Every structure is written in C-alpha cells, then in structure tokens.
Chains A and B, each alone.
Chain A
Amino acid sequence: MATGELNPNHFPARRAAKVVQHYLNTRYGSPYRLFGLEEVLSATAEDVDDTGRRYHLQISAHEIISNRKQKCSAEVFFPRGEPTQPAEVKASCEELLQNTTAQEEALYQRYKGNHSLLSAQYIPDSQGNIEPDMMPFWHLSIAASSFIMLNESTENTLYNMAQVAQITQLETESDELKFDSLMLLHDMVSQEILHWKLLFTWSPAGGVKVQQMKQIPKPHH
C-alpha cells in the first residue's frame, strides 16, 4: 500500500477517512446529530515499524441534520497482526457542536415515561421511506452501529449502515433508554451485508453506550 502523500480521492485515503466518520458518530452521534464524510482534503500514511500503519487526514465532515460542514484533522492507526485489533482514532474538529439538548430531552422524556415501548422494523423500508417519528431512532441506530463499524474497520473495508432490521425498546431500571436491535451493515469492499445484534443504551447526558454486540451469520438463500 502507498506510503507518504496519498491521493485524497483514491480508496486508501477514503477508507481511512470513513473510520473517522464512525469515530465521530460514536462520540457525538445522537438522535439529532450525525456525521457523514463530505470530502478528504489531504492524507498521508506511514508504516510504524511492524506494528501497523498510521494515516494523517484532513477531512471535511458533514453534520447531516443541521447541514453544516466543518474541517477535522484526524489520525487513524490500523494495527497489524492476529487477532485483528480495532483501529485507533484521534480527531478534532473546528467548530463546536450544534446544541441539540432540547430536542434530545424531549425525545428522552417521551420514551422514558412511556408505558408502550418502541418497537419497529425495517428502517428505512424497502422504498427508502422513514416515518417522521422514526427519524430520530434511525439516527440513533446509525450512531450505535458506528461502534460496530469502528470496531470492524480495516484498510480493506468501507462500512455504511444498510438498514435497521429491528429495534425494540426494553424495560430498564436505570436512567437510560435501552434498546435491543438487529442492524444490517454494508461493506463496500466485499459487498457483503453483515448482520449484527446490538444491545445499547442512550440518554441525553450519557450519549450512546453499547452493552453487547454480536455478529450473527447471514441467512442463506
């Protein structure tokens, strides 16, 4: 693989930049905040002895819901060796995050006290439609799935969320909202759809926390 200055439009830089997107979503993602990768502005890569490879990136990140772009600099380290260790990411972005507290509180209150728990399937549906009420949970699902995508990413993968197959809110004693889910992830490189069971919690104060994630084998057809 190339070392030194990388072409920001070619796939090695783009794959590393995608990992930064997943990282940002694990840290800052919420029902009302989600990042996409707009562009790779510049990239370099270097081997770190035999331990792995480090990328230095300048990217433009796009906060999807407020439609604001901002520059971030990041470092992504892909460790070598077996068993494969997850990538390590450091990132800092220019702008402060948009304030989404009020909306998050409102959503939280609505589903905290509610006696009827959320349960939904196939978001978006086959046509690509999402009920307006489900939008925040779609965003939340992507944020939660980003933990999986961050964990599984290598220089030979490019993950995106494909679909929320199932999401069910669970009863819980603690402050956070708790969800059990089946997420479908798409890897552009292998073109596979990966099925992951994900148990996670969320609250405005605590953000997204993953309790359990497990890949399940794809059903053969």
Chain B
Amino acid sequence: DQVLIITPETQEQVDILKNVSTQYETALWQPVSPFYMTEQTEVHLFVPGKSYETVQSLLQKHDITYIEMQTMNGTDPRSTATFYERYHSLEDIYDWLNRTSHDNPTKVKAILVGSSYEKRPLYALKLSFSDRPNRKAMWIDCGIHAREWISPAFCLWFVHYSLSFYNYNKEITEILNDMDVYVLPVLNPDGYKYTWTKNRMWRKNRAPSQNPKCIGVDLNRNFDANWCQGASPFPCSEIYCGAFPESEPESRAVADFLRQHKDSIQMYISIHSYSQMLLFPYSCTLEEAGNHNDLFEMVQEAAQKIKRFYRSTYKYGAGAKTILAPGGSDDWAYNLGIKYSFTFELQDRGEYGFLLPPSRIAHACNEALTAVKTVALKVLEKTQ
C-alpha cells in the first residue's frame, strides 16, 4: 500500500488523475473530492498494494510525476482517517509547523512568539494569502489548556482548510483576501506534552509555585483583566491565577505579541473545549461590552448556522452570563482595543468531555470553522 503525492501539471493530467482516483480501489485523501483537482494542486492518493503497479504504469505513461509518502502497513486508511482527524503529539505538531511553512513559503510563515516555562518554542503560523495593502489580521490561539486536545486539532484543521480551499470556497477566499491570520496551535506546550506523557487531565502550565507540592498556573486566568477576581490565588487550584498578571512566559509572550500588533489585529479568537459555547467579553464583569449587540449578533448567526448545517446546539452570549472566567485572554484583548474578541468552546457537552474520540474531530472542527468564518465575515462587513 502506498500514498502518492502527485502534482498534475496540465489539464490532461488532471483529467487522468480524476479518473484514477475513482478507480483501482484508490482513496482520495486530498483534495476531498476529484472536483477540486486542478493543475498545480497537490493530490494525495492512497493506492492499495494490489493496484499499485497498474496505477504506477498509468502515471508513468502520461509523464505524471509522483512521490511516495510513508508506506502504510496494510491498514485501510478509510478506517485510520486522515492526518487531521487524529490527535498529534507535540513533536508531530512541531514537525507539521515546519513542513507546512516549508511547503507553502509564500503563504505561510512560522513566527516565534516566545517560549514556555520549560523552554519550548511557541510557534505561530502567519497566513498571508494576498498582498493587498493595509491588511488587517485575525489571531486564533489553541491549546491554552493542556487537556483540551480538540483545540490544537482545530488550529491544524483551520490551516489545512485555508490552504486547501482558498479559491475554492467563497467564504475563506474572501476572508484570506482581506485579512492575514495568525494561528498559534499550542499556546501551552509544556502542559500539552504533560497530557501525553503523565496526566491526561492536566490543565495549567508547568511552572512551579510557592507551594512545592503544586505546579502550574491557569494561563487563561493570568491575563490582566480583572485579574484574580473570582479565580483562585491558591497554587494548588486548577484555576490558579498566578503570582501576578502575565507572570507566565506563555501568557506574556502572547500579550506582548498582541500589544506589538494591535494596530493590525482586529479579531481575537481563543479555542477551548468543552461545552459548545460561543462567547465574547466580558467574563470578568457583568458589565456589557461597548459593542455587545454587534458581538451578540455575530455569535448568534454563527450558532444558527451550526444548528442548520450540523444540527448541533451551541449556546452563545457574553461570558459572564454563560459561564464566568476572569483574567481571560479574550477580555484582555478586548480592553487592548481588539473589539472583536471571542472564546469558542468546542464539542462536546459532557458525554466524552475532554476525551472526544477521533471520529468526532471532523464534526467538531467543521462546526468551529463555521463559527470562525461567520464571525470573520461579519467583521469584514462591519469594518469596510
């Protein structure tokens, strides 16, 4: 069995490839349908051992060049599912960051935003698909809480979707034509690593505290927005706010970056799980944000779309009424001047909770994607 990476160069080659992908028991991994194949678009095609020679000679006959991806060991990829429908270790994500920016040098740039307590790099990808002047930007961060694995999975999904569907999907094309997007897949790499190696339920970062028995600060309580009012001053608590606002290298790195780029960043989205909620500021106070009605309208539309397309129920509203979480990154970003600031809680609603099975990744990510696209388009509408 093999997975071939093929880039057709002429329309004729595209047609042949379309044909091949519907025969010989091959499975098309990328793009999602032969319909989306065009010249110069990379195609990933799974070819079972028994058809390999046939397919190979067909490609060679038409001068279609291909490379072999890693060999699969007899497992049907339709049960293994694609790369994006699996959870990945921190090393694999770093690898992916490297490959993605390397494979898309004009559109994707890796940016070092800072480092974690244990000195792991915090890498964001900057997606820049057009060079229209005076471009605004959107920031999406994932993995602030280590055990929320669907969150980094979504950041990877979003980047992959952007690269695959730019110029095919009207919405993402419009968004990427008008905005750059910064995507930080793992804001808390030390915590994330820890959930893979020691404790699947870890939430905080891995910095030591005054209490030798307790490690970690809740990074989403460490931002300077009504800091520690209603979070916990106790190091052993899961919602420990830290010794002072931005005491943690991870939250400070993000805050520094946003401060530096606040003139261009107009949207902030933080991805979490679970609960299925689309939230906006404030969580740290019952006071309403200046543009509360606008923000409400945006998440309402997003929730309605998700209901319509996926029959999934997402609650929406200002954080304080829906859950309450002071010192959060979205409140802080809002006060910095990023008036379109959100926290999205992804699937599910408690059935699997943090342990969302891989079979649900696609659905969860598509729902989140719908939310992101909807709010982004509304922001463009309002700011143009």
Contacts and interface: CB of A to CB of B under 8 A. Distances in A.
Contact of B353 (A38, A125, A130, A160): A160
Interface stretch (A46-54, A72-80, A93-101, A182-190): A182-190
B238 A191 contact: yes
Contacts of A128: 352, 355-358, 360
A64 B357 CA distance: 16
A7 B321 contact: yes
A37 B200 CA distance: 25
A162 B352 CA distance: 7
B203 A126 contact: no
A193 B201 contact: yes
Given A9-B315, A220-B236, A191 B218 contact: yes
A88 interface: no
B378 interface: no
A114 B233 CA distance: 51
Interface string B73-111: 000000000000001000000000000000000000000
Contact of A38 (B195, B218, B313, B322): B313
Interface residues of A, number: 29
A221 B323 CA distance: 27
A186 B203 CA distance: 12
A37 B321 contact: no
Main secondary structure of the interface of B (DSSP, over half): loop
A212 interface: no
B237 A190 contact: yes
A163 interface: yes
A47 B196 CA distance: 46
A190 B352 contact: no
A64 B350 CA distance: 12
Interface in B165-183: none
Interface in B295-315: 313, 315
Given A126-B200, A129-B358, A161-B353, A9 B214 contact: no
Contact of A127 (B317, B351, B357): B357
Contact of A191 (B203, B315, B321, B322): B203
A162 B201 contact: yes
